[in-house]
Amino acid sequence: MERVLSYGDVLLRRCDVELLRPPNFINDHIIDFFFSYLSSSGSSDVLLVSPSTSFWITNCADARDLAPALAALNLRDRQMLLLPINNSADVEYRSSHGNLERGSHWSLLIFHRPSNSCLHFDSLDGANDRYARSLHARVSELVGSGSKPRFVSAATPQQENGHDCGAYVMAIAAAVKKGFESDVECDVEEIVKREVSSESARRLRASTLDLIDSLRREEAIKA
């Protein structure tokens, strides 16, 4: 498989990048790359959690292992966490194959400390609700907010096809991060309502392809 780009800890291959072209289902490597890119600038109060870490938090067999293993992420100091959710619960497959290819839907859980809430954004009418609630239960024990953060099934623009859920997750994450860094007391749902749509998800696919190409050319120049 042809290597396209190494960015931070993420390796993108041609088969990953081609998934940004509709009507393909975006995989965890693309979301991981996009979250890493968003994390390269801006406030350290915001943590974009990788898909693999989010998956592990949800499915870790012993919750007591979570806090020591995640200590370096300083979750108790963060004002916002963005955690992608995949509807695969096949831990054995994930461990042996290194990806979440058996899942068929992405959504996003956002912990917002100023409102002490976990907002679940799902572009397919709550399809990932049970996975989001499982992740919420685990995250609630890790963020040290005093009282348990409330779970909110957030109003979410709905995808118009069967393949754009990953693009919605990326578009929501980018919009909310930008809005939060302008105003920590921001209305997260209002940002999503205002900034995210089927058109913005479509544009994000194209702009991410352009971003990868630009970073690839920069990498080649430095080599």
Q: How open is the CA angle 97-63-77, to the nearest 5 degrees?
A: 100
83-108: per-residue pLDDT in tens?
A: 999 998 665 544 444 454 568 999 99
pLDDT of the residue at 1? 73
Measured distance CA(191)–CA(184) in Å, rounded: 12
pLDDT of the residue at 182? 96
pLDDT of the residue at 222? 86
Count of structural domains, the chain? 1
> Is pLDDT of 195 > 60?
yes
204-211 average pLDDT score = 98
Measured distance CA(89)–CA(95) in Å, rounded: 11
175-204 average pLDDT score = 97
121-176: per-residue pLDDT in tens?
A: 999 999 999 999 999 999 999 999 889 999 999 999 999 999 999 999 999 999 99
Q: Which CATH number belongs to the domain containing residue 121 in this structure?
A: 3.40.395.10
> Is pLDDT of 223 > 80?
no
pLDDT of the residue at 92? 53
Residue 123's domain comprises 3-222
The whole-model pTM stands at 0.94
Mean pLDDT of the chain: 94
Residue position matching structure tokens 């499915």:
59
pLDDT of the residue at 93? 44
> Is pLDDT of 208 > 90?
yes
For the beta carbon of residue 76, count every other beta carbon within 10 angstroms: 12
pLDDT of the residue at 140? 97
> Looking at the annotation, which residues are catalytic?
105, 122, 165
Measured distance CA(15)–CA(28) in Å, rounded: 12
The model's confidence at residue 47, banded by pLDDT at 50, 70 and 90, is very high
